[in-house]
Structure 1
């Protein structure tokens, strides 16, 4: 899960790119928000994950936020951290492995888009940023979220992504300073990840997700990209509350990871168990 940039916004302007199509379908009046699900690549193992991703496409899930697993995330709760550790212990889920996975599965998807989440220190810091971004785009990722990117590299990241034609996911907390939220919104070209509250993934805001309506409205003035809300979203009611706040999509992370873990521990078919989970959290279309 992402670590939002809470540093004071700068006045410099970086080149951005525009997604070829909205990351989430446009909401009709009274319609439900799109659904984005977070999983660590390698949990389940990549062959099982391929079947699961194809199922997400069948079910019409708008976005898979797919993380290249990395250890000891300071922003993740225990559920996501354990998932990353399982993936790392199995091996075969480094950045190159995950890009190979994306290149294999992406051509078979018609409705689900893949936003790749990569940690700067663990997955990208030892690589040339421009070349790595180009490789991620060439693999077929629809968007890129760089976790814990050093602020000094923000403009280079945005420029590299624009050059590669790769939309970026930017992040901010709901209680970040106004200037920081405005800058994050302005640079979002895939979608803006609005973190519901300061804390670790899996914890919900005390006032509920619907209370983010004013923040979502303020952010609309700075971006034409979709706004997705995450952290503490785990049930159908939470997804509906995100929609009531006016956001375009709800991101479910810890609950999705937990559903995978429960299926593996019970010896169930992970894909079918996860299909049940998807149907349990997705509101009925109005």
Structure 2
């Protein structure tokens, strides 16, 4: 299976875009995925929507609510991925699922196989209880499904080492503790130190999210040594604004992605505050 962020090069790190499946509606996923594929996005981090996320702010939570109100189910998400994945050239799809809402009650191996068979290129499982984490790692490995692991810039050495050891798709480094979409200053020294550690211990690429919303933010992460950037709430907000205004959310997101990939005069100027 092709490497995540295989097209990155100096000055142009990989780019992942987070979206809730079903916002915009799943019927738009083929056009949405094709647009991301054509515009230099390396990874679509596609979430199976779930309610009440403790780590998401109001923008992402409202998006999940719209998707759930539209009747989106895990099976529908996997079927939608299966329909679009064969036509993609460079875009990888990493499925994000919540343990309690989506996986609990299902054998980890069965879920991993279903995700693999749908054509997903990786799996990020949110909220896995410590008591089943080893079984989760083993099930995903046995299914031959690349794994996305996570840790925080403020995580202790053991958590960082565990994330590095088990990541095979990419390692998602959360830049700051808190909910997505909240404004927080970026601790460049701490983040740079953790990226340096992970680059020397993890075999998978290191992607940084939370607080990434401009080309300047992405350039800063590149300077700190990250392999890729993850853009979440900022893109979700563009979709919400377009839907509220009766405009095309795919075209709105296209414009935003082009801004993120722009090498314009402000691309290397970090913003004072950030919102994922």
TM-score, normalized by length of structure 2? 0.92
**CA-to-partner distance for each residue in 1:32-87, whole Å, 9 max, x for gaps?**
21110000001000012321111111112100000000000000000000000010
Q: Name the counterpart of 2:270.
A: none
Tell me by how many angstroms 1:211 deviates.
5.5
Q: Name the counterpart of 1:143.
A: 122
* 1:86 and 2:66 are equivalent in the alignment: yes
Note if contact 1:191-1:227 (Cα within 8 Å) is conserved in structure 2. Answer: yes
Report which stretch shifted further, 30-39 or 199-208: 199-208
Distance in 2 between the 1:207 and 1:142 partners?
30
Note if contact 1:27-1:33 (Cα within 8 Å) is conserved in structure 2. Answer: yes
Which one of 217, 229, 238 corresponds to residue 217 of structure 2? 238
Distance in 2 between the 1:74 and 1:66 partners?
18
Q: Name the counterpart of 1:13.
A: none
Which one of 227, 235, 242 corresponds to residue 206 of structure 2? 227
Tell me by how many angstroms 1:221 deviates.
2.2
**SS of match in other structure, 1:115:** strand
Q: Name the counterpart of 1:34.
A: 14
* 1:24 and 2:14 are equivalent in the alignment: no
Q: Name the counterpart of 1:200.
A: 179
TM-score, normalized by length of structure 1? 0.89
**CA-to-partner distance for each residue in 1:138-186, whole Å, 9 max, x for gaps?**
0000000000011111111111111111000000000100121011111
Which one of 51, 70, 78 corresponds to residue 99 of structure 1? 78
Pairwise mapping of residues 97-176 of structure 1 onto structure 2 (< 5 A)? 97-176=76-155
**CA-to-partner distance for each residue in 1:208-255, whole Å, 9 max, x for gaps?**
557622110111222121000000111111111111111011000000
* 1:214 and 2:197 are equivalent in the alignment: no
Distance in 1 between the 2:220 and 2:50 partners?
31
Which one of 75, 89, 109 corresponds to residue 55 of structure 2? 75
**SS of match in other structure, 1:23:** coil
Report the aligned-residue RMSD.
1.6
Residue-pair matches, total = 265
Note if contact 2:21-2:77 (Cα within 8 Å) is conserved in structure 1. Answer: yes
Q: Name the counterpart of 1:15.
A: none
* 1:49 and 2:3 are equivalent in the alignment: no
Note if contact 2:36-2:91 (Cα within 8 Å) is conserved in structure 1. Answer: yes
Distance in 1 between the 2:52 and 2:188 partners?
27
Higher RCO (CA-CA < 8 Å; seq separation 6+)? 1
Tell me by how many angstroms 1:198 deviates.
0.6
- CA 210–142 in structure 1, closer or farther in 2 if over 3 Å, else same: farther
Distance in 1 between the 2:183 and 2:33 partners?
26
Q: Name the counterpart of 2:164.
A: 185
5+ long unaligned stretches in structure 1: 1-19
Note if contact 1:195-1:229 (Cα within 8 Å) is conserved in structure 2. Answer: yes
5+ long unaligned stretches in structure 2: 268-276
Distance in 2 between the 1:131 and 1:63 partners?
24
Distance in 2 between the 1:116 and 1:125 partners?
16
